[in-house]
Structure 1
Amino acid sequence: MPRGERPLDVGDSPLLKFAADLRSLRDRAGGCSYRQLGARAHYSATTLSDAAGGRRLPTLAVTLAYVRACEGDVAEWEDRWHQVAAEVLPTAEPSPDEGHPPYAGLAAYGTEDAEWFFGRDHLLDDLEQRITHRRFVAVFGASGAGKSSLLRAGLVPRLKGRVVVTTPSEQGEPDLAADLLIVDQFEEVFTLWQDVDQRAAYIDALLTAGCKVVLGVRADFYGHCAQHPALVEALTDGQLLLGPMGPEELRQVIMQPAVKASCTVETALVSRLVADATGQPGVLPLVSHALLETWRRRRGTTLTLAGYEAAGGIQHAIAQTAERTYTSLEKQQRALARQVFLRLTALGDGTEDTKRRLPRTELDHDVDVDVVLDRLAHARLLTLDRDSVEIAHEALIRSWPRLKSWLAEDRDGLRTMRRLTEAAATWDSLGRDPDALYRGTRLDSAVEWTQRNGVRTSAQERDFLAESLKARDRERQLAHRRTRRLRQLVALLAVLLMLTGTAVVLAIKAQNESAAGWRSSAAWYVANQAQALRGSDPTLADQLAIAAYELNPTRQLRDGVLSAHAAGEEDSVSRSSFLSGQGLIPDGLPRPNARVPVGVNDTYRPLGERTEPDSVVTSTAVNGLEQAFSTTLEGRVARVWDVTDAINPTVVHTFDFPVVRIALDPAGGRTLTTVSEHGQIALWDWSGQDRPAKRSVLSGHPRPVSGIGYSQDGQVLVTYDDAGMLRLWDVSDMARPRPIGATLKTGREVTAVALSPDNHTLAAGFAGGLVRMWDLATEWAPEEAWSHKAHPETIRALGFRQDGLALATVGKDDKVSLWDVSDRAAPVERGRINWSTDGVHGVAFGDTPTRVVTSKSNGTTRSWEFDFDTAVTAMCAAVEVHISREEWQQYVEAVGALQYSRPCA
């Protein structure tokens, strides 16, 4: 140890631990003197010695120079510095007398902040001109591009007349009597409203309004807007795309508010901010928050680079503020804060997670809740008004690691919470109508979720579940009483039979009816008991499900047994896991273009470790050679990964333009089809994967293409766009593709397609759960053979069996169905299995005609057995402990059902 340096007690503080680790880093680098280290780092030996002394935190620049000189991991130490800075540097809490801050932080600039809004004059001129010549205009931009600030603080002060600013989440109908109506955060129409009719009525009201209308829409909801033809027509030539700010605009954003507040900004800080932010989408709230925190750490009237670094910079300022505020809360308050943030976030389905406005009534009236909301609002992480709460900006969702990890932990549980919240609110709004209570599987799932660690429900939700459980108990008691009455009736009829022979026929009929009613009630009671035991004792639950079917062998109880068998199956992963679930030939049409439905956490994370950064998966494709490929998009560059081995994926080619869809011909995998960001479809010779050669381009879709897929022989390509237009192409000669038959205009959002093995039948699934089939025998006159709402929610995947006589459908409603389509005009459902289908994007048939296989975007597959006898045999083979006589009496004989008889004897 060099003279003059005292040993540090690393347990004293984060600062001393940081200094001790810097000293250890120097030791591992050879233990050179500070004079030698200073020659490498271009700092004096004294400065570097002080950095490792532990008396104060060195600047970020000195720390990184020290680390580079010791050949350490610069990125790791930069993150480490920010963590320590958040703990040891003085916080910059707002003071009561600080005056109006020149920067808005995470919050959007409102009309009252117009004097502080700079940098968008050119765009405002363009927007004002568009409004002058058009009645309907939309401003599209990424989250964080500054749409709300542009409309509220930029546009409104420029206009004359009565201007009304609203959002879809605000209560009531939009004010259509204004001269100009601005609808900000228009994407809430799609994220908050599940009722399609309510959504359509709102859009129609805007389209027919007697005033001019300006919409502010997040760019990733452009495709959602295209689902409404009248809205598409109204927005033709009326769209303004808000992109990232250029260097000069950023300088205005940085400098002008400071000048107005009589402050100066260091030139080094301006250069650093412009370099950090130029060309970055959605960066404006990060810049504004970093500037606000830097202003609070100003030196006199000067905003400094040192203050910017202490605040955490663009990348860390929001996370640093959020983490500091969260950790300052007491333990119970931190748990409340977690629930508040989870409730304030709407999970994306194919889009990023978004913020949602939370009615204040959804949170309990509690002192700790009020304290948490006040602290979070004081840090400008939340905005509060009289009746609602919301996250200040969606940048917090993207930038705070703790919140991202909360959202990733249990997305299914969060969806259960959201459905429970909505159901409880509906029940309360209907005067607590008993008919709106939960029953069956929904009730069981909600109760199971509330019993997990860390879950906190609101008073309204607790009341809703309590009433639902009471209603279930009442229904069971009524069923028991009904059964007893039926038995008494049977006994009475038996007595009457002894008194008169003329009552024989009536007695037999009544006995049969009562027995049937009793068996039905008893069977459903046993089935409900099986469902309740599914999580705690699956083997006993399986035996009870079989017993319920033996009591009353109906189709619904048969499906219950199949669902119980499916619940015991496990997702599997192997080198070919992507293949069997893709509808790969010979079992059905591949779905290589399925999007991974995970939202902001929609990142490609192979099951093994990898050193490449996580990237957004845009598509997955398979061929007939047992190979699977995925594409990722990083900026303007698209990579094609060989994911045949899901554990160890490798990059095989990089395109220098954005590729959002790929498909490979199943026959030999020689032809690759790509869809670019702007919807161009290209065919490539994929023989040399590292150097594919473009052979032709397909045109004919007026709207962006949202899906592609091949027939089993690789000769036919199916394409469909976001307006619901389906086209078929003969691609047997990749250099000369030609359209096949007439274009099918469905007018609906297509989510899945499948071609029969003989290419004579096309099946398509839609967002509303509809499935349609067309007879393609006559190319230029396809006839619709069948149209049916197969599922209550979006169709995730379709697949024909090899013989073309069966079709498997997968719905977003957590159900997989098997259809007999031997009569194309009148398909018959042969079974429906209920289990989670989250993430499924491909379906095929297994090694038997009744086994269906689904594939998930993470490379796993799951089997679904539709043959009843096979399922029961497998369930009984897994039984090690048969149902006991005591358990039989508790769950079966409790309703006077069968005498003790083991289902799997």
Structure 2
Amino acid sequence: MAMRDDDPDPEGTKNPLHNEVSGIVMGPVVQAGSITNTQINYVYRRTVTDGVAAPPLLTVSGQVDSPYRGLAAFDERDAPFYFGREVIATEVLERMSHHLRDRRLLVVSGVSGAGKSSLLRAGVLPRIRGEGLASAPGSESWPCLVFTPGESPLDALAVRTATLARIDAASVLEKMKADPAGYAIIARQAALAQPGPPDRRLLLVVDQFEQVLRRTEEEQREFVTALHAAATTGHEADGIPAALVVLVVRADFEARCADHPELTQAVKDRYLVTAMTRRQLRMAITEPAAKVRSRVEDSLVRTLLDEVGTQVTGSAVTTRGAGALPLVSHALDQAWRGRAGSTLALADYERIGGVEGAVAGSAQRAFDRLTTAQRAAARQVFLRLTTISGDGVTISRRAGRAELLRSPHDPQDVEAVLESFAAERLLTLAADTVEISHEVLLTAWPLLRDTWLGDTLADRLARTRLSAAAAEWDRLGRDQSSVYRGSLLRAAVESVARADADPDGRSVTDVERDFVLAGRRVSRRAVRRQRALTAFLVVVALALATAAYVAYRARAEAVHQRDAIASDQLALKSRTENDADPALAKVESVAAWRIAPSPRSRSAMLAAAARPDVATFVGHSGWVLAVAYSPDGKTVASVGDDNTIRLWDVGTRSQIGDPLAGDNGVLSVLAFSPDGRTLAAGGFDSDDKVRLWDVDSRRQVSAVPIQAAYTSGIAFSRDGGTLAVAENDGSTVLWDIATGTLVARLGGHTGAVMSVEYSPDGRTLATAGEDGTVRLWDALAHGQIGDPIVTGAKSVNVTTFSPDGLVLASAGEDLDVRLWDVATRTLIGTLSTDDETSVSAVVFAPDGKTVAAAGAAGTIRLWDTTSKRPLGARFTTSRHVTSLAFSPDGATLASADFGGVVRLWNTRSQAAAPIAGSTNAVVYSPDGRVVATVGDDAAVSLWDAASHDRLALLTGHTGPVTSAVFSPDGKRLATAGVDGSVRLWDTDAHRQTASIAIPRERYFSAAFSPDGRTLAVIGDGPVLLWDVLADQVAPLPDSGNSIYVASPGSPRGAADTWIAFAPDGRTLATAHGDEVLLWDTATRQRTGKPLTGHVGAIRSVAFSPDGSVLATGSKDQTARLWDVGTHDQIGAPLTGHADGVSALSFSPDGRALATGSSDGVRLWDTGTHLQISVPHTDQVTSLAFAPDGRILASASEEGVRLWDVSYLADDLPHRLCAEASRSLSQDDWTRYVASGPVYRTTCP
């Protein structure tokens, strides 16, 4: 914004200009020296981001301002610099058009950091202003109101709408309080007050709608009623609703949205903002710079994608944390501001310290600008801008400016702190509130993370527990039986005293203070009574002994409280570090358990044990470029660009001796000889040699020369006498190892040879080239076998034989793994990696049934070689994977990556589908030896659980079979189907023994009573109770027929479990719509109140093994746990699934719960309600634990997968210590464990 010559205040000497509507502060303008007006920097600061968009930031002193937004969200003014979300923006516009036509609210959801706000503000709204909505001609001129609700949602809505309508805000608020639905009229006034077509509406976008869901139930009801009326109620004159309403909400608040009936359908139809693909992320990095005629150096783009730990899931990219994308934006913004030239280079990025260093650097610069007094005030500001969540995590909170100014510090010092950090875009300043721009600051800035927050974490955790206890006491009518006593009371008194003495901390509330005072009064009365009783009944000696005992117990309770807090802290730390350093996370979780065995510390151990990477070897100082298993499986060898070879003991998970050093250059390839005694390694060696070492003596025994610039592959012949060396000049050279003489030189490739491998029988040699071909050679005659295999890839990076030598796999720059018939050299299969980068490693498992591949995306995928289908979840790392190697037994897969780490993965945790065929339900026999499956083909199959061979195929049903259940003795199997029949089968004779059938009925779920006498069946009609011994059937009285019914033509939707007997047989649970009824099986009458709380039809029920807990899964995407005795819900719902929960299964010990949905399987710790792992991410129709609890079976359209969950039944500390191969030393204990607990040996 250039100044005019007739500007009334050209020197910028007057006060800043403040626009009361937009909240924008402009000025003052400062003229530097004698430069002209066109060189003046016009600076502004937005104080309110909602409502009206501010003009763009301009600098006309010769510097182009940063095209990146840093930690802040994109706004309309940033639309020219917003890239990567064009497709999603179009999809949202289409949804808006449909919802406008259907008179519905639109919910836009996504995880924190997914970019929901930026999508709406910079991606969607500018498109509406430019081209309008497809279903509403003229909508490009509709008035638009975008705002966040804040602390008073209805007030904010009233004020913003009144401003547009040009009416008094106070009267509007009064009307909305009296009748929230009347907001439809006010919204229509606002729309008609603006220019536009006569049928115009108000476009209303409520950003961060989760702020509303944190308010009271009354406030939520008023706000939701107002919005729903505006979006759905037609005006009496023309029948047109007043507004198109869009709610932008965090994904973890979807279930709470569904608590409002007006939003239930909107939540079901919500638009989910997914993570960016790699291509989209690349556009977001490079295109803003191109917009200002600059560019981002390619090496910087690659480094960014590596450093933030990008991983590919399907076509989407995920990162190591929700804050990674804002981190990238902030790093680019900071690097841009300090760039040396017109191109944003890697050097500029490294100068600011990379992604992690950018935020920390900005924060430290803001802090360094402050005076000593202002730095003291800064601590107070950030302590009041953070809080501790219910599960012990530090999170940010919005604070009132007045609250921050009420402190012993000078208000001017506090204002200076706010201005300094706002200038670095780390704080967002609104008219009356202040908040941290992004929570990445909490972990990225060491001073805040380690000193200010770290030093006070234990006390803040104690304060959080005190606040929760005080709130519960107040809710219960301040009953004195619920106040603190003993050591808890003393700890609370100390906590309040510390809070009163620390002016920088959060002040004590009246309820908290009253709670502590009430506890002290109760304590004093108890003491007086005790003293009187003691004086009357006991002698002095007994009194002294009692006092000593009480003191001992008090000290013990204090120690217990201290250890519990330290254990919780360490358990939380273990969970947060599970991805970054799995080995450390494992020993930390064990240490938390050693300090205080608790549900939270056990949950941390389970989460650590659930990881598929069982060990990590760290030692290389740079990239690890190759990895290999010794033939006996006891040793893993690795080479890296630090020019070292390291040998690792697989059993002890430790390095064997000192590393072997190459003479010069970079080592990039290695191979063991067939007898395991010799190790060969080569690469970019300035001495032009491939060296061989004796593994036992660790001495170099020989070397063979190379004539090219580098070696890209080496392989031993089957007898170990010949070494094949692939060179970058297009040739493969064969050397006699014993004599060091040249045997043969194989040419033919027109580019570098990238890979070489002998077939298992040693008769054939395969080479892969940069020319995109694979060539087969006679290993003895040295002639080429047939024409080369033209793979279709630009370059082939790797080729490998199957163990039987019949199949050859190749992969490279075409992103797929291709399988070739060695005899005919024809393509027999293609394995898609769903990747956008090259594949650099492919390897067959020793049994030939599995092939693994990985590349630059850092994701390791496994496929079944027979079906060509992927196996289970993927192994993910944060860096480019360069090499893979299976252990000889196939149980472990070793990987090497650019992060300098060698990892060992448990391949048995990645289940195959040994039982093929579309499956509706799967169930184990009581002895675990037989698995029964049923599906849409009307057949019932029995399988050997160990060999997976089919034992019997039972026929009789005439339609899809939806349920199967074994009798408690395992001798009978009951099945139910949509053909209206329920059938009993003899599992030994494999024949049908009885059946019942009712025409025009469909049966979806069956359950045997624990005594095996009664079979309960639920379907379209009432619940039926079949006495299978007397062969008598009777309906359960008053059970009705109101259960959820599958959609026509979708019998699979009926494969849910709606009925279950308690283990003691006294209680029967049945699902009816969105509630569960419990029945007394003796009287056949309902007991207690229905279990209510779900907002969608219940699709599955299951009792815990001890019968005390009932689990329910619902279409509302949640699972809930219920106390069977009280009929009350236990804790919060289990949330995380993106679709209805249709399958449930408790582990045999009841300490874990598996939930299934169309988005996969999740495992939960029933003690803490914390998620343990996500073993599977595809559709699941049924779940069943094996009786020993070590295998989890999941059914789907692909068949039945068997998952290794043995960690649920193992001795967790022993298992984790063995996998980590380390312990916590006393120095580690001091570094990682909160002060207080004495050192304990973590892993003996």
- Give the structure with the larger strand fraction: 2
Higher RCO (C-alpha under 8 Å, 6+ residues apart): 1
- The structure with more radius of gyration: 2
